[in-house]
Structure 1
Amino acid sequence: MKHTLGILALAITVAACGQKTDSPDPVTKPADLAAEKASPVTGKHTLNQSDFEQFSDAMVAQLWRLFPTWAISQGYYDVDSELSIPDAAHREKVAGFARSYLTKIGGIDPSQLDASARSDQALIRNFLEKALWDIETFKSHEWDPSSYNVSHGFALLANTDYKPLDERMRTISQRMEKVPAYYQAAKSSITTPAKPLLELAIQQNEGALTVFGDTLKEQLEVSGLNEEEKAAFRDNLKKAKAAIEGYVGFLKEKKAALDANNGYRSFRIGEDFYEQKFKYDIQIGMSGRELYDRALTERTNIHDKMSQLADKLWGKYFPDQEPPADKLQKVGLLLEKLSENHATKENFKAEVEKQIPELEKFVTEKDLLTLDPEKPLIVRTTPPYMRGYAVASINAPGPYDKGANTYYNVMPIHEFPDDKAESFLREYNSYLMQILNIHEAIPGHYTQLIYANKSPSLIKSIFANGAMIEGWAVYTERMMLEAGYGDFEPELWLMYYKWNLRVITNTIIDYGIQVLGMTEEEAVKAMMELAFQQEAEARGKWRRATLSQVQLTSYFAGFADILALRDEMKEKLGDKFDLKAFHEQFLSYGNAPVPVIRKLMLDGQ
């Protein structure tokens, strides 16, 4: 799943961020406040709870000046006309911001804060350290050209009714004025890119042109802008599209040159970078290597469970055939048989939509969570500028605009050639489609992100931890089946374990590819032979693993942590444990890392 947390990654790499250079520093008062309350003995700032909230709110206000596209994705529109120029000067401004606030946050005495504020303090520190590390050490702005793409922010402004159309058109026009400079800075920032990321950048920026196409022109025509304003809009639109086309052309020329001498940077980041990124992104208290080893053990456990289920089902589907002695071969044959039950490429999206009300009904009847019927979920074909990364994803509104639409993006299967579509549909068969919808929609990502927007801690919502978010979605798959979804049908459980193997294998191949040098054929073999995936899915996952680092481990890391926490809470509460209460308390902490939530829950906060 790929969701709006990608905006955070883009923001950190200074790819889609912005500021108001002429605005006053909004942190002056809280900084002075902290200095005034510094202890003469310890030098620590003795901010009380209210003071800390002022401090963090002021930091966030400045953050949005630095990263307006991220701000827009959170529903904060005060910076909607801004688009920063992702050059060296702006990167230094971001680094200066991080250094300054690391000093300030480090000077605050955590003993003066309650548990929730202390966890906010830790999240702020992690975010700032990651920002500084990315700019000064990881330097992805030099080798990841896909991080430069203006389309998402413009799409949000065009498609969200946060203010009247005329005002939005004027805002978009102002923002488009900056697009040529944005892409010129992007060209100057890129040195030697990684090949998969270069190819993704070409694909997605070509898709970005659709954001500046007919729909935007139609909105302009029906707006109340005067003719002078419309002429200026059209001129800015023309220049913005030319800038995007120029960037695509620049990338294609670079690709041709690098293809000629194989001069690409490796997409593999190596052990040192991997472990540093893992520490910042996952935050589970173990190393990437330790999680990899744990995944290898869990894969064996799941194979044993699948073999036991296959023994029960074999006679039903192969009454006249003895099962193979090899347990993986036996499981694989049974999964292949079950995979014949699938949608068509023409009705796949419709089948996804049809299942959402069924999931809502089950969650409500089983009293697993309180769902909000007022929050719309719109299933749509993935927009072109977002394609090339994930089969399905969620785009959710941020905490500042909680009522905006949530979009469930589904890959355009109907556009696939028949052979590719058949492979895809066998992978996402009628059983796995149900697990996919639980994961992405209800009670997975869609539900969790609605709860996150209700969290009283803005910090815990915006500094989102991917392992918690992905872990929750994976956890709900298991939880729903445990609650009786599918009537404990062994076929569904067998397919669930296949899906769970994907989660485990994500960790294995991510570490294997990025650190151990796993080849494409080795990775595909691990996915097809040991995780029973179709070749199209395996090849797609290989591509995804070359486009990101660490993110694929977030599913298994978060899932394992949440299951362990549930067991701890059951042991602590005994007969008083209530599953719905556990879920709602867990989700009330926004997008905080699971270890942070664990401490708050076990301490009774």
Structure 2
Amino acid sequence: MRHAPLSLSLSMILAAGLGTLVGCQPATLPVAGAAPAATAPVASSARFDAVAESLLMRALERSPEWSIYSGRYDNAATLTIPDAARRADDLAFAKAALAELAAFDPQQLPAPQRIDHMLLTNQFESSIWYQQQFRDWAWDPSNYNVAGTVALLLNTPYADEDARLRTVMQRIEQVPQYYAAARANIATPTDEHVELAIVQSRGALSVFDDELRERIKASGLDAAEQALFNARIDATRAAIESWVGWLEGEQKRLAASGDARSFRIGEELYEQKFAYDIQSHYSAAELYRRAVEEKNALHERMDKITVQLWPKYFPDTAMPDDRLERIGQLIDKLSERHVGRDEFFGEIQRQIPLLADFVREHDLLDQDESRPLVVRETPEYMRGGGAGASVSAPGPFNPTADTYYNVSPLDAYTDEQAESFLREYNYWVLQVLNIHEGIPGHYTQLLHANKSPSLVKSLLGNGAMIEGWAVYAERMMLEEGYGAQAPEMWLMYGKWNLRVVSNAILDYAVHVQGMTEAQAMDLLQREAFQEKTEAVNKWRRVRLSQVQLTSYFTGYAEIMDLREQRKVELGEAFDLKTFHNRFLSYGNAPVSAIAELMREQYPAE
């Protein structure tokens, strides 16, 4: 499960920023002796800080959407119209920004600024690639939705109620033009993204419903303002409904003509997108091979636990000879222990403070007790993408705003589907999920990130680092005694960790190797022991996204490698809490960049 497209979807937030900024090049810093980035490099670190801040502020000023997600609201009343003129302007801005950055030789900057230089350069390069090569603005209609930013403005108390209502009233004035531009952009979309756009756009109507009208009625807005606001709500709803109707027409046209674009992006685009989004020293193919090796290693470790526990749970049943069969049977047995469908949400609420207590009692890292995590049902406009849980965190400009743990309700599930879902998130796995999404996973990491002194690292977040930390947190908590070292917990953790590994395998295999739905179901259900509902949701998700599913395993592997290397480098001086706090202090930088910073600033003596 995910925190996500922020909800916490980094890709969605950054896409709202500079054209379609969703990633960066591999995190390889310039090496000594490399050719300078410009013929007349500027050595002044103070000058670089000024240029970096200026670029970010100009980028935020250009994108009210990115500003809002970052917790900055001074231009929130303006809605960006995603038309061809805007794309041309974004392209010119990115090229000009790269020219400004090229005036600096990264080798003459301190390590923290070298990383900022790399992040900024790669960010603007990636924005050009996304616009000119990937071009999802032309085939993914789910990119277009006005509800997210409006919901944030309505639900974030950054100003008084009347001021926020007036901002929203101004912001939605051009919603009809927004959807007209979206319609003009789309050419040969995929079936899958048309369907997603329909679901999420219908959900967007819930933001502009009678509840908003009641808030307007109860506000301090005068009669003329209220009338204007309600008229604009009518126009907004009409524009969304017209957009949905057009999408439904596209859906029928594609079904009749059969000329929909394939959701598979192919090897060339996949490798390029992996490099921009993940920022790893691995290529996509190398990461895929490592994931396959890790899958086999996990099966071996889980089998040892299965052999140990078999007599306890099946005292009168012979153990199957096939390794996957016996592991699967034991997991099936243990999965019977789960909460009821009406208890799922409440159980998550109950567990979050217990996790905070464990982290504090075992002194694992710093927490901010003044900033509790708010568990809520996933808003309707965020549903439908295949992720049942996610975190919506405030940006660095509004670090004291609430962080939400979004939990999708099970109302739409049949009894059979709900039982399958709850077996997947059984007694043990649900605890691991809450570590991942909550404490000390996404929620804790993002609180630290918003305190980073580098605005670049906070705003240009690396998804692999963010996801990798949440996965690392799961294993670290169990290593430190959460779950009392019960073999059942470790077996179920193995099943959960197989999800991370199979995510990486699935994504590459589907988009590059042409893996079929039947092959995907076999990988997810037989080899990764997932319930049918979870496997079906993952198959849906892999058709709607590309590369993001690899971020979990890549970041996790790199963080584990770094921790073990620091243990060797520091010897007895290594302290786990210190490692965690230092690692998180660098914001959302790529793991390889954080490793360089840690070694430079805290060398082994």
What TM-score do you get using the length of structure 2 for normalisation?
0.95
Mark the CA change 1:564 to 1:267 in structure 2 (over 3 Å): closer, same or farther. same
Structure with more contact order per residue of length (Cα contacts < 8 Å, sep ≥ 6): 2
Q: Equivalent residue for 1:136? A: 132
Are positions 1:506 and 2:503 aligned together? Answer: yes
1:10 equivalent among 9, 12, 30 = 12
Q: Equivalent residue for 1:23? A: none
Cα distance, 1:178 vs structure 2: 1.2
Mark the CA change 1:41 to 1:592 in structure 2 (over 3 Å): closer, same or farther. closer
Q: Equivalent residue for 2:439? A: 442
Q: Equivalent residue for 1:72? A: 68
- Maintained 8 Å contact 2:19/2:127: no
Cα displacement string for residues 515-551 of structure 1 (whole angstroms, at most 9, x for unaligned residues): 0000111101100000000111001000000000000
Are positions 1:223 and 2:225 aligned together? Answer: no
Cα distance, 1:45 vs structure 2: 3.6
Question: Which of 319-328 and 546-555 deviates more?
Answer: 319-328
- Maintained 8 Å contact 2:339/2:426: yes
Q: Equivalent residue for 1:196? A: 192
The AA in structure 1 aligned to 2:559 is I
Mark the CA change 1:16 to 1:50 in structure 2 (over 3 Å): closer, same or farther. closer
- Maintained 8 Å contact 1:15/1:86: no
Stretches of structure 1 lacking an aligned partner (at least 5 in a row): 19-39
Cα displacement string for residues 97-118 of structure 1 (whole angstroms, at most 9, x for unaligned residues): 1111111112212233211011
Cα distance, 1:66 vs structure 2: 2.4
Are positions 1:592 and 2:594 aligned together? Answer: no
Q: Percent identity?
A: 49
* Structure-1 separation of matches of 2:43 and 2:18: 34
* Structure-1 separation of matches of 2:149 and 2:438: 23
- Maintained 8 Å contact 2:8/2:392: no
Cα displacement string for residues 536-578 of structure 1 (whole angstroms, at most 9, x for unaligned residues): 1001000000000000000000000000000111011000000
Mark the CA change 1:54 to 1:461 in structure 2 (over 3 Å): closer, same or farther. same
Mark the CA change 1:266 to 1:248 in structure 2 (over 3 Å): closer, same or farther. same
Cα displacement string for residues 227-283 of structure 1 (whole angstroms, at most 9, x for unaligned residues): 011111011111011111111011000100111121210000000000000000001
Cα displacement string for residues 116-171 of structure 1 (whole angstroms, at most 9, x for unaligned residues): 01100000011111100011111100000000001100000000111111111111
Equivalent positions of 1:28-427 (< 5 A) are 43-389=39-385, 390-427=387-424
The AA in structure 2 aligned to 1:361 is D
| 1:454 match: secondary structure | coil
Mark the CA change 1:239 to 1:46 in structure 2 (over 3 Å): closer, same or farther. same
* Structure-1 separation of matches of 2:404 and 2:574: 34
* Structure-2 separation of matches of 1:16 and 1:592: 19
The AA in structure 1 aligned to 2:493 is Y
The AA in structure 1 aligned to 2:201 is N
| 2:587 match: secondary structure | coil
Mark the CA change 1:48 to 1:156 in structure 2 (over 3 Å): closer, same or farther. same
Are positions 1:470 and 2:467 aligned together? Answer: yes
1:581 equivalent among 563, 578, 583 = 578
Cα displacement string for residues 334-385 of structure 1 (whole angstroms, at most 9, x for unaligned residues): 0000000001111100001100111011101111011110112111111110
The AA in structure 2 aligned to 1:583 is H
* Structure-2 separation of matches of 1:112 and 1:589: 20
* Structure-1 separation of matches of 2:107 and 2:291: 37
Question: Which of 100-109 and 147-156 deviates more?
Answer: 100-109
- Maintained 8 Å contact 1:157/1:168: yes
* Structure-2 separation of matches of 1:531 and 1:349: 25
Cα distance, 1:16 vs structure 2: 9.9
1:569 equivalent among 566, 569, 580 = 566
| 1:532 match: secondary structure | coil
Q: Equivalent residue for 2:29? A: none
Mark the CA change 1:568 to 1:482 in structure 2 (over 3 Å): closer, same or farther. same
Mark the CA change 1:59 to 1:107 in structure 2 (over 3 Å): closer, same or farther. same
* Structure-1 separation of matches of 2:245 and 2:37: 61
| 2:562 match: secondary structure | helix
- Maintained 8 Å contact 2:263/2:543: yes
Cα displacement string for residues 297-323 of structure 1 (whole angstroms, at most 9, x for unaligned residues): 110000000000001100000011111
- Maintained 8 Å contact 2:452/2:587: yes
Question: Which of 320-329 and 61-70 deviates more?
Answer: 61-70
Stretches of structure 2 lacking an aligned partner (at least 5 in a row): 21-35
Cα distance, 1:17 vs structure 2: 7.3
* Structure-1 separation of matches of 2:281 and 2:289: 15
Q: Equivalent residue for 2:517? A: 520
Q: Equivalent residue for 1:32? A: none
Question: Which of 61-70 and 150-159 deviates more?
Answer: 61-70
* Structure-2 separation of matches of 1:134 and 1:209: 29
* Structure-2 separation of matches of 1:41 and 1:548: 34
2:540 equivalent among 536, 539, 543 = 543
Cα distance, 1:445 vs structure 2: 0.1
* Structure-2 separation of matches of 1:158 and 1:582: 38
* Structure-2 separation of matches of 1:567 and 1:593: 17
Mark the CA change 1:277 to 1:400 in structure 2 (over 3 Å): closer, same or farther. same
Cα distance, 1:219 vs structure 2: 1.5
| 2:601 match: secondary structure | coil
* Structure-2 separation of matches of 1:14 and 1:259: 30
* Structure-2 separation of matches of 1:64 and 1:557: 29
Cα displacement string for residues 180-236 of structure 1 (whole angstroms, at most 9, x for unaligned residues): 100000000000101111100000000000011122112211110110111110111
* Structure-2 separation of matches of 1:114 and 1:373: 34
- Maintained 8 Å contact 2:16/2:65: no
